Amino acid sequence: MRQTENRKQKREKRKEDIVLIQNLRQDFIYKLDAGERRTIVMFLCEKGYQNGKIKIIIKGNRSAIKLLGIIIGSGQQKIELSTLQHHLQPESKSYFYIKSILFNQAKFDYRGLIRIEKGAQKSDAYLKSQNLLMSPSVEVENRPFLEISANDVKCTHGVTIGKIDQQQLYYLTTRGLTNKEATKLLLLGFFQDVIQEIPQETLQIECKKKISDIISKLLERTNN
Amino acid sequence: MSQLSVAPITDYKYGFHKPEKYIFKAKKGLSKKIVEEISWYKNEPDWMRQFRLSSLDTFAFLSLPTWGADLRRIDFADLYYYIRPVDRKVHSWKELPNEIRDTYDKIGIPQAEKKFLGGVNAQYESEIVYESIQKSLSTKGVIFLDMESAVKQYPDLVRQYFGTVVPADDNKFAALNSAVWSGGSFIYIPAGVQVKMPLQAYFRINAASVGQFERTLIIAEEGSFLHYIEGCTAPIYSTDSLHAAVVEIIVKNGARVRYTTIQNWSTNVYNLVTKRMKIEEEGIGEWVDGNIGSKVTMKYPSMFLAGKGAKGEILSLAYAGPNQHQDTGGKAIHLAPDTTSKITSKSVSKGGGATSFRGYIQIFPEARNSKVKVACNALIADSLSHSNTYPVMKIGNSKAQVEHEAVVSKIEEEQLFYLMSRGLKKEDSEAMIVNGFIEPIVKELPLEYAVELNRLMQLELGGKIG
């Protein structure tokens, strides 16, 4: 009996570890204490102008933060996002993984700064931004910055911007899928690795469902 | 007066007295009168005089960049804007500062070359070589002159292209250069001509080879090829503390130009350079840019990919030692379809030095099927040093493909341990690792440069040569 209660508590705690951000109406600033581990899931699919900052201040050592970003932009929407991974203390990890798919005339302006202060040795910071462009009139701007003042660190960022792989699309259509079905499958696949990292199954399923609905609607509209 | 600002030429920080061999020297400071004097002295046509004067107005109007290195300590009123090269040269080998002489010895530069590099006014033995090269070039129709002579001998050609790739109002230092430029090279390669050996400013020895405000213009006509090399691995001792050069290159359809720079100014120099290339249809433009010296360098070689299928590549190498700030990088602007660009940057900071990579990629809606790849690696050798990365990517086209990655790391303990376990000293091991790190760029240099550069890095990292 007691054991199950403990497990329940643990599960509750793990749930708490996840912070969900669904819009950028206000800036999100989070200070990470020593030994703290946290995952932030940013699910931005709301319509309309979005502008906000996500600032993670690592003020304790041996802590870890993970930000998983899913962004779908459409219509004439403009999304402006800034993120900060500010390492003040040593031996902490920050891992940001942001993926966006942009339709119509959507604009996405992303600034991501990794800043390692002098004493923050053995920091491990990672930032990846991947953007898929679905229409010729979308605009993307990426500014992944690094400011490093400690030497014993590992800091990496990567950006890719591109369109759907035509070969993959062709392959799927030769297997009998319509163009739209194949596109949808590839777009869902694009988000798959971010979704997999969400440490809570119910939330994973929820995200997948939501993404699938939104993409279906957008694809229908583009074809008409 | 702090050592940062520019001391008068007669009492600079190394403290040796330079005899005043007065030929022509403009007064200190910058004014309309000085610019007119420079133009008068060079006996220039009126259009160039007007160009200089309007650039001076632009210079006064533009403000210093608010980003990058700290430039507020440059005192524009305390500089000489024109000195005849004769005055700039040191008159005997012994007058050179010890550390510079030592470096020359250690990296193994022949005596004759040493004198030239040190700015000692010696007749360099390559004079004869130079003559024969000039002859073989001119039979092909290649024009290779210093800028002043080109303005006089080929006024129409110069006027047609001068200031078209880097306009005077591009930035404050381009405006300054446009107002007071002196020296630099002018190269014209006729259609279809392949210049097999790399041309070097070296061979233009009688002209002002090392200038404070150099102005270089290269025009490569259709289907031609040129490799131009500027600077050298050995430290160049300069008494001028501000260098603001402009390099303009026009690569016509199907032509290919490679421009290699190895910059190793002494560490009292602010090196603020604007370099840009316009690449037309199916042309190839390449910048190989190595920055080792100077106090502050701000230099971002750029490529305008203006014609269909144009290709551009930038290889950037930076080393920042104590009190140095290397703010370098590259820019690629895609204006036409099927254009590709690649930027590779490697930087090393040590002993409190700071390196910054600044990249700029823009893909216009017209530039369909363009491809970009940017990779920057930074090595921070100790806990005093810094490294920054500032890439910007603006994509206005869904048919483009952009990849960017950056990694900042230290010298791997494991590699160090391995080398040391084989009996190498720590400094030597570090130097070996750093040389391995920069190798992809160094291997693009002509052999003698590569050898000297490797030795120099070893020296900078405290290792011994031999």
- The most distant pair of C-alpha atoms in chain B lies apart, rounded to whole Å, by 69
Structure confidence by residue, pLDDT tens digits, A37-57: 999 999 998 888 999 999 999
Give the helix/strand (H/E) hosting B60. helix B46-61
* CA nearest to B315, candidates B363, B256, B262, B391: B262
* ipTM score of complex: 0.84
- Please tell me the distance from the alpha carbon of residue B77 to that of residue A197, in angstroms, as a whole number: 60
Q: B365 and A136 in contact by Cβ < 8 A?
A: yes
Q: B408 and A141 in contact by Cβ < 8 A?
A: no
A138 token code pair: 């979308």
Q: What per-residue confidence (pLDDT) applies to B126? A: 40
Which pLDDT tens digits describe chain B residue by residue (466 residues)? 334 444 343 333 332 333 334 455 667 788 899 899 889 888 899 999 999 999 999 999 999 988 888 888 888 888 778 765 444 445 555 666 666 666 666 666 655 555 555 444 333 334 445 556 777 888 999 998 888 889 999 999 999 999 999 999 999 999 999 999 988 889 999 999 999 888 876 544 333 334 578 899 999 999 999 999 887 665 666 666 788 999 999 999 999 999 998 888 878 889 999 999 999 999 999 999 999 888 999 999 999 999 999 999 999 999 999 999 999 999 999 999 999 999 999 999 999 999 999 999 999 999 999 999 999 999 998 889 999 999 999 998 888 999 999 999 888 889 999 999 999 988 889 888 999 999 988 888 887 778 878 888 887 776 554 4
A154 vs A66, A151, A160, B55, CA distance in Å?
A: 16, 9, 20, 46
Size of interface A-B (CB pairs under 8 A): 114
- At residue A185's C-alpha, the angle toward residues A193 and A199, to 5°, is 25
Query: How close A32 comes to chain B (CA, Å)?
Result: 23
Q: What per-residue confidence (pLDDT) applies to B460? A: 79
Q: A140: which chain B residues are within 8 Å (Cβ-Cβ)? A: 393-395
In this complex, which of A131, A134, A143 lies closest to B392 when CB atoms are compared?
Answer: A143
Q: Which of A87, A132, A140 to mutate to test the interface with B (most CBs of B within 10 A)?
A: A140
Does A90 reach chain B within 8 Å, measured CB to CB? Answer: no
Query: Does residue A113 carry a pLDDT above 80?
Result: yes
Q: What per-residue confidence (pLDDT) applies to B62? A: 93
Q: A162 and B402 in contact by Cβ < 8 A?
A: yes
Taking the alpha carbons of B42, B43, B48, B52 in that order, is the dihedral positive or negative? positive
| DSSP three-state, residue B319 | strand
In this complex, which of B386, B396, B404 lies closest to A159 when CB atoms are compared?
Answer: B404
Query: How close A11 comes to chain B (CA, Å)?
Result: 36
The single-letter code of the amino acid at B454 is N
Q: A135 and B406 in contact by Cβ < 8 A?
A: no
Q: A107: which chain B residues are within 8 Å (Cβ-Cβ)? A: none
Q: B401: which chain A residues are within 8 Å (Cβ-Cβ)? A: 161-163
Q: B409: which chain A residues are within 8 Å (Cβ-Cβ)? A: 153-155
CA atoms within 13 Å, Cβ hemisphere of A38:
17
Query: How close B364 comes to chain A (CA, Å)?
Result: 10
Could you tell me which residues come within 8 angstroms of residue B22 by beta carbon, excluding any fewer than 6 positions away? B87
In this complex, which of A144, A147, A151 lies closest to B410 when CB atoms are compared?
Answer: A151
| DSSP three-state, residue A124 | strand
